[in-house]
Chains A and B, each alone.
Chain A
Amino acid sequence: MRFTTGPKRAADRRLPIYGAAESTQKQQPKGGGGDAADAKSGEGGKKMAKKGEELKEEMDELLDEIDNVLEENAEEFVKNYVQRGGQ
């Protein structure tokens, strides 16, 4: 499945490296996410289905958000987007 938000996979675990200077905890680059662990935990199909619904909702939200901001006249816009060469 595409983009996931929810419990942010890595952001939760990854502190800004100077942000918490007193913290000596070394941030871990993310390994397997919690998602995979849940799927394998044997809670069964219900949980998976719920997860699927959540993801679909999230995806719909993303598409709506894109539609809200995407330039309306895309064809015209990309056609007229001409730059001079630079460095």
Chain B
Amino acid sequence: MAIPKVMGTEIEYGIIVKNDPDFDPISSCVLLVNAYREDPAGKILWDYDQENPLADARGFQVDGEKYTPNQQENIARNKTLINGARYYVDHAHPEYSCPEVTNARDLVVHEKAGERVVEISRREASSLLPAGAQMLLHKNNSDRKGNSYGSHENYLMDRRASFKQIVENLMPFFATRQVYTGAGKVGSENRGYPCDYQLSQRADFFETEVALDTMVKRPIINTRDEPHADREKYRRLHVIVGDSNMSEYTIYLRNGVTSLILSMIEDGAITKNLVLRDPVRAIKDVSHDPTCRREVTLEGGKKLTGVQIQAEYLEMALAYAASHDIDEVTADVLERWQYVIDALARDPMELSREIDWVIKKELIESYMDGKGLSGDWENPRVRMLDLQYHDTRPDKGLYSMLERQGRVDRIVTDEEIQHAIHTPPEDTRAYFRGECLRRYPGEVFGVNWDSISFGVGDEPIKRVMMAEPLKGTRRLVEELLDGSADAGELVKNLRA
């Protein structure tokens, strides 16, 4: 029986400062992250002791330097928020890792709340810059000059599912899901063959099938084995093969369908052999064809389009849903997935309210037609549309504009997103994390996904482990928190 799919996303944003000849991305990121002020605010360390990004799911440990900043740098680069999220500086990009949630709908709410957190701090940071300078952020994955940065998804999986099985069952799915998860991009890069427009921001950057790297020679399936939970029971699938999506509908499908497929893998329900002859080539071939008609070759020589491969997964999913208990959100995801696959098979452009790459293509082509620029994909204004689609400013971002005008479909409400900026999900350990930060701000010393430590008076630091992502929920700990006036009492009550 598949385990509940606790999930989250980590989004790196593109950052620039306009009209600043001395623009430095790292110091701008530090300024940005520190411009976000929460009430109550604490100086909290990110607890790197608990991290091991060099463990490989295939069963070995890679040599390398583990990054551990000093205390001052740590506090300057890491913010843990009262909604349970981590907002921090990763290399030369700001990154927002949303709190753990249990379903794709909550994921949409919290990923969108992250966009607003980033935008709030962008406005604050901009006000601190010299006159004329302005910080801008883009929720995208590439600068169109060969530099890419990620949008990662995480899913909790049963440790008993073999990694080899996961790889085999997932590879064709990951090579082709971009037909409905792509964020769209004008042109190609990173030695990709030329095209006007492609489905995915990231496809040009995948160079190998399976590996531990995330920054060079990027793999379609990443092997990082760092569960941030009880490693005897769980693995965390770290998915790096996705785009940063703007459309709520697209985010919903991306996480909803993927989590369903992972449950099916745990239950042995991927019964068709869809193994691709060359997944790295296939991911690019599928991305570079907005008609969705190009075929890729399976191991046995059979040829299918990306949409047809997804339709095969859909067929297995419908059979799975008929014989297993699936939750309300997954049932809704399945229905929409079916609708989207049918539309893609007819004409992808029918999905101009739902799927990012189609919404963006429609926007750009409308503009080109209206301005006498038809076919001029190299035009700077066309390139600008591509970029500005992802701008986080509500008054300037083109996706925001379409949303405001009611030209795209939504999944959640503004009220829910606004609420999630200050409130953790109630049904995961993120609740315990967020509530501790809210209730005992001066006494939280350090945080990681699976631990929180308290500095109470002169006593040694007390670390509380949270190895179970589905514990620490409101149902389980609210009473305990209500009965603990401070962190000292909480620690005492936990021991009682």
A85 CB contacts on chain B under 8 angstroms: 147-149, 215
Query: In this complex, what residue of B is CB-closest to A62?
Result: B366
Assess the A83–B240 pair: CB atoms within 8 A.
Answer: no
Given known contacts A19-B413, A71-B388, is B149 in contact with A2 (CB within 8 Å)? no
Assess the A2–B413 pair: CB atoms within 8 A.
Answer: no
B380 contacts chain A at the CB level, 8 A cutoff: yes
A63-B336 Cα distance, complex, nearest whole Å: 30
B296 contacts chain A at the CB level, 8 A cutoff: no
B64 contacts chain A at the CB level, 8 A cutoff: no
Assess the B143–A82 pair: CB atoms within 8 A.
Answer: yes
Query: In this complex, what residue of A is CB-closest to B186?
Result: A78
Question: Quick one: which of B144, B152, B371, B380 has the most chain A CB within 10 A?
Answer: B380
- The interface size of chain A toward B, counting residues with CB under 8 Å, comes to 38
- Closest approach, in angstroms, between the C-beta of B337 and any C-beta of chain A? 9
Assess the A86–B91 pair: CB atoms within 8 A.
Answer: yes
Assess the A16–B412 pair: CB atoms within 8 A.
Answer: yes
A60-B409 Cα distance, complex, nearest whole Å: 21
- Closest approach, in angstroms, between the C-beta of A10 and any C-beta of chain B? 5
Given known contacts A14-B409, A66-B367, A70-B385, is B143 in contact with A87 (CB within 8 Å)? no
Assess the B25–A84 pair: CB atoms within 8 A.
Answer: yes
Measured as residues with beta carbon below 8 angstroms from the partner, the interface class of chain B is 35 or more
A43-B329 Cα distance, complex, nearest whole Å: 41
B429 CB contacts on chain A under 8 angstroms: none
A5 contacts chain B at the CB level, 8 A cutoff: yes
B473 CB contacts on chain A under 8 angstroms: none
Given known contacts A5-B407, A16-B412, A78-B144, is B93 in contact with A86 (CB within 8 Å)? yes
A10-B402 Cα distance, complex, nearest whole Å: 15
Residues of chain A from 53 to 71 with CB closer than 8 A to chain B in the complex: 59-60, 62-63, 65-66, 69-71
Interface 1/0s, chain B 141-153, versus A by CB < 8 A? 0111101111010
A52-B15 Cα distance, complex, nearest whole Å: 41
Query: In this complex, what residue of B is CB-closest to A74?
Result: B384
Select the stretch in B66-74, B393-401, B437-445 that faces chain A: B393-401
Residues of chain A from 28 to 56 with CB closer than 8 A to chain B in the complex: 29-30
Assess the A74–B16 pair: CB atoms within 8 A.
Answer: no
Question: Quick one: which of A27, A29, A86 has the most chain B CB within 10 A?
Answer: A86
A5-B366 Cα distance, complex, nearest whole Å: 14
A84-B14 Cα distance, complex, nearest whole Å: 9
- Closest approach, in angstroms, between the C-beta of A53 and any C-beta of chain B? 15
A17-B328 Cα distance, complex, nearest whole Å: 9
Assess the B396–A69 pair: CB atoms within 8 A.
Answer: yes
Question: Quick one: which of A5, A19, A74 has the most chain B CB within 10 A?
Answer: A74
Tell me the total A-B contact number using a CB cutoff of 8 A.
136
Question: Quick one: which of A66, A75, A83, A85 has the most chain B CB within 10 A?
Answer: A83
Query: In this complex, what residue of A is CB-closest to B335?
Result: A29
A18 CB contacts on chain B under 8 angstroms: 105
Q: Select which of A14, A29, A86 is within 8 A of B90 by beta carbon.
A: A86
Assess the A63–B406 pair: CB atoms within 8 A.
Answer: no
Assess the A78–B148 pair: CB atoms within 8 A.
Answer: no
Assess the B405–A59 pair: CB atoms within 8 A.
Answer: no
Assess the B92–A84 pair: CB atoms within 8 A.
Answer: yes
Assess the B401–A69 pair: CB atoms within 8 A.
Answer: yes
Assess the A78–B92 pair: CB atoms within 8 A.
Answer: no
B221 contacts chain A at the CB level, 8 A cutoff: no
B339 CB contacts on chain A under 8 angstroms: 29-30
Interface 1/0s, chain B 413-440, versus A by CB < 8 A? 1000000000000000000000000000
A83 CB contacts on chain B under 8 angstroms: 14-16, 25, 92-93, 142-143, 145, 147, 149
B130 contacts chain A at the CB level, 8 A cutoff: no
B352 contacts chain A at the CB level, 8 A cutoff: yes
B159 contacts chain A at the CB level, 8 A cutoff: no
Query: In this complex, what residue of B is CB-closest to A3?
Result: B407
A14-B362 Cα distance, complex, nearest whole Å: 22
Assess the B92–A86 pair: CB atoms within 8 A.
Answer: yes
Assess the B385–A87 pair: CB atoms within 8 A.
Answer: no
Query: In this complex, what residue of B is CB-closest to A60?
Result: B370
Residues of chain B from 298 to 355 with CB closer than 8 A to chain A in the complex: 328-329, 332, 335-336, 338-339, 352-353
A41-B91 Cα distance, complex, nearest whole Å: 59
A9 CB contacts on chain B under 8 angstroms: 353
B475 contacts chain A at the CB level, 8 A cutoff: no
Q: A66-B367, A84-B25, A86-B93 are in contact. List 13 more A-B contacts (CB 8 A).
A: A2-B366, A4-B407, A8-B406, A16-B411, A62-B366, A63-B370, A69-B388, A70-B384, A77-B380, A77-B384, A82-B145, A83-B14, A86-B215
Q: Can you give 25 contacting A-B residue pairs, CB < 8 Å?
A: A3-B402, A9-B353, A11-B406, A14-B409, A16-B412, A17-B105, A18-B105, A29-B335, A29-B339, A30-B339, A60-B370, A69-B388, A69-B396, A71-B396, A78-B380, A81-B16, A81-B144, A81-B387, A82-B16, A83-B92, A84-B25, A86-B91, A86-B147, A86-B215, A87-B90
